[in-house]
Structure 1
Amino acid sequence: MDPVLQSPMYFFLANFSFLEICYVSAILPRMLMNLGTQRRISLVACATQMCFFLMFGGSECLLLAVMVYDRYVAICSPLNYPLVMNHRVCIQLVTGSWTIGIPVMVGHTYQIFSLPFCGPNQINHFFCDIPPILKLACGDIFVNEMLVYIVAVLFGMVPFLLILGSYSTIISVILKLPSAASRAKAFSTCSSHLTVVELFFGSVIITHLTSNIRLSEGTDKVLSLLYTILTPMFNPMIYSLRNKDVIKALRKLLCK
């Protein structure tokens, strides 16, 4: 509602916030219900949870890469920023982030739950994540493990490397700015995003690229809690409470 916050950066941040709500809602309510009632989750509910979790998680990876592109254009090409990041382009980037991963993740989930499960039907985990499900399969899971690697590379490593490459250019441009105030302002707009990227991508990549190393169940749980609960919990503080424009707009709204 505040005119100061009607920029592409905050448009992407608003979409990211909504995506985080969907991402957490796919896991946390069912997790709390299972922990409170000790009820087991059905096969269909487990597959549904995994499908939505993967779709929202993949979209979040792509949207984080889009957000760094916005910062890249704003800092490295400020005069062309209004032309490059116009409203139409912003909508196209957000729509692509939301939709590209849907067919991939639906097919990935179907492939995993097409495996034979002839042994125990309990997972020692907080929710239906890929590694604990694959541990229950009694057939050959080589193809599935390769698919896990491919999906992790496409939606995890590739965006992460693009983000790192963009930030290396951004930092080199910031260091060349003449005034210390300009450098501090530029760093402050990037530090929040970089913190979220490190927390989210680090835990996701470690969990899914090391699925065939057979990490201990305790390690799996800690890593999964990091990118499903702790990172989304810290994001509002990282992005909003440390942002002077957001705090100023909130004060204006509360005063009204």
Structure 2
Amino acid sequence: MIFYFTGTGNSLATAQAIAQETDDLLVDIGVAYKYKDFTFTLEQGEPLGFVFPTYAWTTPPLIDAFIKRARFRTGNQETFAPDYCFAVVTCGAFVGNTARFFAAELLESQGINLDASFSVKSVGNCTYLYAPAEGEKRERLIAAADLESHRIAQRITQREHVHAEHRNPFGILMSAFTGKDEKPRSTAEFYALTNCIHCGQCADLCPTNTVTIIEGTPRWAELGCTQCLGCLHRCPVNAIQYGKKTETRGRYVHPVLANAPRRA
């Protein structure tokens, strides 16, 4: 079983590539978290995988919370133990020590050892810091990420025990400051422009239920946001902003999500 979390589609694309090779079931962590579904039934000894993005050189807060709350059990309600466990971290630039931080969390919360870790670089979506790649550059990044995802899938089927994510000194240094249990993500900069069509998609998509619709307009709770920026990038009219700079910057949604239906 492969658990994935995605804001704009990169991690979903990678998870799908791996599942295609391994014939594994995909589970959306965002949906599970949104609806407080933390109990999962697996066959004893089956492989266990996690695919999620790097946020600020560490794990997203939602991943931390999920790993602490998840209950992996067999059909007989025994504690589940995989014969092989892997993580694939997607990123727009540097992964830092994200996989290592996750491995420590997984062992502490679930008693499960992380046997392998990998990374895939794709289009970054942190629009309040930079404009997402567009045009041919975007296409090249997506194609390279797809190729790397399939390579990793092959390594996973071979049960490689390796920690092969692409790290660099800068990312490792920054992880020392961000790889902490407490990761507050401010929502103070979120707002909607007057072209908002009041469709409610932002609230539907929000995995932490941080976005609510009040009198037809989105509002962000002060606490709880994992800052996936799904609400911003997937708004059908680009009404949602995070600070003034995003008003002039493009949006990014991976093709696997471009035509995805709204959540009920």
Q: TM-score, normalised by structure 1?
A: 0.26
Structure whose residues are more often strand by fraction: 2
Structure number with bigger Rg: 1
Q: TM-score, normalised by structure 2?
A: 0.25
Structure whose residues are more often helix by fraction: 1
